[in-house]
Chains A and B, each alone.
Chain A
């Protein structure tokens, strides 16, 4: 990257995030432009296919709060996925994924962790949310901070690492090899949003226990490891 690009990188990250967000809003509007039908077809079918997985995850956490949890998970997933996929665009400035600069993943991780607490407060009340942060001891606060760090570092490390390898390969062998590296880069770019969302689901499942189940044992497909 040239010195000018490095200098303006924080602004580029924000602009790229905004572009991705705008694109997602436009896609969302397009998918729901026509009146929704009971038997979906076309765009509505595609949108429902995307949302299906999030609805299933939300249902496994708390079946009555699907409308609260599923949009949160879907927003995080789609924003990260489309941000990562910016790397394959053949446009110079636009192809810097916002998730390859540490501020981007950190912001997403803070949103995820704070969002979990806000959803907990909405579903179980403010006292329960405070109890979730400080129970069984105030050191739980450190755990919340470490969740933020681990979520953000994982995403940042994968995407920035992939980009670094691609740029090194481009310097070493400009033709052919970078194509392979970029193609392989699609794997972490599509797996990392899943991992980020699944870990958020895990945090949510411990913060909001399913009805009739003890705290910390959410049941469903992603039970927390003992």
Chain B
């Protein structure tokens, strides 16, 4: 068996349908977007913002808030700072495909050959790249020089739990001294996909460090604690975890 040290949380970044930080503690059960959220308040590079979907903007912003809350993350060497993320594939804006689809119409309707020859050149080069699920890691690591252990999970609600658990274990097992872990997703307006269930946007990340009161048991208990409230995809469990932490502060 692998030896473990206790792991505690030193920073919290919470964006939920109820609000940002402490404002996000109460309410939001009906889902929706994050009130008052503006990515440009957290991401200074405007060019990067254009390459981020809403979920990625939420995730990168929550990482920023969590590290700011930690305050001393910069003292840890970059190769000892890790990042674990739960996220969904970030499908690009369907309207961005419109010109390509229009160009693909033949006498009998949609024509795949026309799509290949005439439609493709009209699609933005980064349409699919924007859809990569691991873009939160790519952008957050570049901004904060996080060079250590990492993983990106695409398992719906379980993805957020996996990210929290594996991130905490990376610190517990000594493979990192600081790990940012959590999840982000943007499901507002998608309740039709889920039979009318309340859906929302959200992101929540924590900073794990060695020592203090061990939070691993709380993470292991998350699976049974996140089955109520609005569906936030990969952010569901991290949002619940962060709410619990903030309420106990």
Chains A and B belong together in one complex: no
